[in-house]
């Protein structure tokens, strides 16, 4: 089969690779579409804490069963959890200590065939195209972050970053009745996605336009820029929550006064990581509802052979989603 293989940093090539064998509880899938996540590009550039090489990346997958190639399509939850630890029992399987993630610990969806647990398949709603369905995993992560924020109707939300994840976070928050503001230094990205926001109300501003208004109940960073933590905590209202959605790049040290701000204002720093199966299921419902406008978040549909070449563009943050399509 053809597959995209990451051997080491910046060595990502389309190669002929043996087809996988299905393990216990697994089935073989034929990916139909697989989107490029920024984490894929980071792994290509510098590696990742969960990455085991060599590896076929890809964790935003829409696929059919290999034994039924003309049959139903599925979104694929990328995790493999033990199912028996306390986290799994409590419905927090994404925190399972034995978690193995497609594209990180085991081979993912940038291949003509992949193995995955049968339990990871989530059927697509009728009428949803495979390219748009690849948004199920990132949108699931966004919905999980929103749940972690304990967002209530009428609360004010500030989202840092107007890329794909920032837009999905904004839509998810607006669906809960929040007053949402998205800020991004690139005005052109905000202009391109105006069609996504109708009929919901989302304010899109550059950082200069936002100023120091403050008073937000929830702030979420959909960018790895370190300054968003400092700026975002300052923007919080008393009792507000900063949701750390994107990991922060670099090794920047933060002043103790920042922690004191949380202390004196009874604000919270909330971690969020990945998503559960149910988050992806919920995401598919919203994706189906917005199926006519969400394609604006797809930058380009590409071939497997061209996927490695888009990694620098993904890293520079100027683009939305690149989706690799496979021939049926």
Both 209 and 300 in a single domain?
no
- DSSP string for residues in 174-235: HHTT-EEEEE-S-HHHHHHTGGGGTTS-EEEE-HHHHTT---EEEEEE-S--THHHHHHHHH
Q: Does any domain span residue 212? A: yes
Q: Looking at the structure, do residues 50 and 112 belong to the same domain, yes or no?
A: yes
Return the number of other C-beta atoms located less than 10 Å from residue 106's C-beta. 19
Say whether both 122 and 148 belong to one domain: no
The torsion angles phi and psi of 43, rounded to 5 degrees, stand at -60, -40
Q: What is the pLDDT of residue 253?
A: 84
Query: 251 or 293: whose pLDDT is higher?
Result: 293
Q: Residue 181: which domain range? A: 142-271
Which is it for the CA torsion 106, 111, 117, 120, positive or negative?
Answer: positive
Residue 284 within any structural domain of the chain: no
Overall average pLDDT of the 209-215 stretch: 74
Are residues 150 and 118 both part of a single domain?
no
**Are residue 83 and residue 118 in the same domain, yes or no?**
yes
**Final residue of a domain: which of 242, 271, 300?**
271
Return the pLDDT at 214: 82
- Please check whether residue 303 lies inside any domain of the structure: yes
The stretch 143-166 carries a mean pLDDT of 97
Q: Is residue 285 part of a domain?
A: no
Question: Helix, strand, or coil here: 47?
Answer: coil
- Output the CA angle 42-44-49, nearest 5 degrees: 60
Does residue 261 sit within a domain? yes
How open is the CA angle 34-36-39, to the nearest 5 degrees? 130
Rounded CA-CA distance 276/264 in Å is 34
Provide the number of structural domains found in the chain: 2
Same domain as 189, residue 69: no
The whole-number pLDDT of residue 211 equals 66
The verdict on residue 286 lying in a domain is no
Q: Does the pLDDT of residue 208 top 90, yes or no? A: no
Q: What CATH number did the domain enclosing 63 receive?
A: 3.90.180.10
Q: Are strands 236-244 and 268-271 parallel, antiparallel or unpaired?
A: parallel
The verdict on 149 and 43 lying in the same domain is no
pLDDT exceeds cutoff 90 at 165 = yes
**For residue 207, what is the domain's CATH number?**
3.40.50.720
* In a shared domain, residues 311 and 242: no
Is residue 279 one of the residues assigned to a domain? no
Are residues 67 and 116 located together in one domain of the fold? Answer: yes
> Cβ–Cβ contacts within 10 Å for residue 226, how many?
16
How far, in Å, CA of 111 to CA of 313, rounded? 21
- What is the pTM assigned to this prediction? 0.95
The backbone torsions φ and ψ at residue 272, rounded to the nearest 5 degrees and listed phi first, read -145, 140
pLDDT band of residue 212 (cuts 50, 70, 90) is low
Mean pLDDT of the region 135-160: 98
Q: Which tokens is 97 given? A: 């200590």
Dihedral sign, Cα of residue 97, residue 66, residue 284, residue 245: positive
What confidence score (pLDDT) does residue 252 get? Answer: 80
Give the C-alpha distances (Å, rounded to integers) separating 313 from 237, 258, 318. 36, 33, 7
Instruction: Count other C-beta atoms under 10 Å from residue 309's C-beta.
Output: 11
Please determine, for residue 181, whether its predicted confidence score (pLDDT) is greater than 80: yes
If asked whether residues 213 and 299 sit together in one domain, one would say no
Measured CA to CA, the distance from residue 193 to residue 250 in angstroms comes to 29
pLDDT: is 21 or 50 the higher one? Answer: 21
How confident is the model over 220-255, as pLDDT tens digits? 999 999 999 999 999 999 999 999 999 998 888 888
Examine residue 137 and state whether it is found in any structural domain, yes or no: no
pLDDT of residue 282 exceeding 70: yes
Per the prediction, the chain carries an average pLDDT of: 94
Domain co-membership, 165 together with 252 = yes
- pLDDT, residue 328, reads 65
Mean pLDDT, residues 176-194 taken together:
90
Tell me: do 7 and 120 sit in the same domain: yes
Most confident option among 8-12, 121-125, 227-231 = 121-125
**What is the reported pLDDT for 189?**
86
* Strand positions, DSSP E, the chain: 2-8, 11-16, 26-35, 60-65, 73-76, 79-80, 100-101, 114-117, 121-123, 156-160, 179-183, 202-205, 216-221, 236-244, 268-271, 298-302, 321-325
């Amino acid at each position: 089969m053809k597959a995209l293989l990451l051997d080491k940093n910046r060595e990502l090539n389309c190669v002929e690779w043996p087809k996988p064998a299905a393990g216990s509880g697994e089935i073989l899938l034929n990916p139909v579409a697989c989107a490029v996540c920024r984490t894929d590009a980071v792994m290509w550039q510098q590696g990742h804490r969960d990455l085991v090489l060599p590896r076929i990346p890809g964790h935003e997958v829409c696929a059919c069963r290999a034994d039924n190639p003309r049959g139903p399509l599925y979104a694929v939850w990328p995790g493999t959890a033990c199912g028996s630890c306390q986290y799994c029992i409590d419905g927090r399987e994404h925190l399972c200590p034995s978690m193995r993630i497609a594209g990180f610990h085991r081979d993912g969806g940038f291949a003509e065939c992949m193995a995955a647990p049968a339990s990871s398949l989530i059927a697509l709603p009728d009428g949803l195209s495979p390219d748009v369905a690849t948004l199920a995993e990132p949108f699931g992560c966004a919905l999980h972050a929103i749940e972690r924020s304990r967002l209530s109707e009428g609360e004010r939300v500030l989202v840092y970053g107007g890329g794909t994840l920032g837009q999905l976070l904004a839509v998810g928050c607006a669906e809960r009745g929040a007053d949402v503001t998205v800020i991004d230094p690139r005005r052109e990205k905000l202009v391109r996605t105006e069609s996504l926001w109708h009929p919901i109300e989302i304010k899109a501003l550059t950082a200069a336009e936002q100023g120091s208004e403050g008073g937000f109940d929830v702030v979420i960073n959909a960018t790895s820029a370190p300054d968003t933590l400092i700026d975002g905590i300052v923007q919080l209202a008393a009792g507000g929550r900063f949701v750390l959605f994107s990991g922060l790049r670099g090794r920047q040290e933060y002043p103790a006064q920042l922690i004191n701000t949380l202390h004196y204002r009874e604000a919270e720093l909330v971690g969020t990581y990945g998503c559960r199966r149910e988050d992806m299921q919920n995401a598919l419902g919203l994706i189906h509802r917005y199926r006519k406008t969400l394609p604006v978040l797809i930058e380009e549909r590409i071939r497997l052979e061209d996927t490695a070449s888009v990694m620098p563009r993904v890293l520079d943050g100027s683009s939305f989603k690149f989706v690799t399509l496979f021939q049926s």
